[in-house]
A and B are shown apart, each in its own frame.
Chain A
């Protein structure tokens, strides 16, 4: 069964450093997403991406964050100047064009900012 692949599974970074979280969505999917889950809390929407541009973003997704699809397979989330409160599990997801379709989530990257 097709999978969304996220790397690394766990990343530790120092406060103020930049991090790039990587995702390989399912190959025939056209919509890509990032969500985050602060430990023990609910899953929160960050951004959706379609046709090489952001289609929707949340209040959380401020200037500190950016997304990119640098080639035909990868989808990245960059966090500039990380803060302690950025520590969370970050999930990438992808979906086919039908709005009713469920996402396929990746297994997540646990980001720890120290």
Chain B
């Protein structure tokens, strides 16, 4: 029972490179979310998806691209990484809006040099 997984768990990249963070859930949850967490800012929502092929912006979407071709996967791409995108990224999922709990993955620590 894998639940929700993220890969890689740690990533170091350079400014200007493209980076894709993967999120996979085995529950067939409709909703998936991407958050970033920085010291002093708490968790901030980047993008979310209500279903396959449906995505929407969160609080801080600039510099990120998402896709949802399959229900179980929700990759987050930094098309041209910047140092300000150094952060810990968390993916989450939930069955639907009437469900009270979001289930979070273990996080990906990304460093942009």
A and B form one complex: no
Q: Which residues of A contact B (CB under 8 A)?
A: none
Q: Which residues of B contact A (CB under 8 A)?
A: none
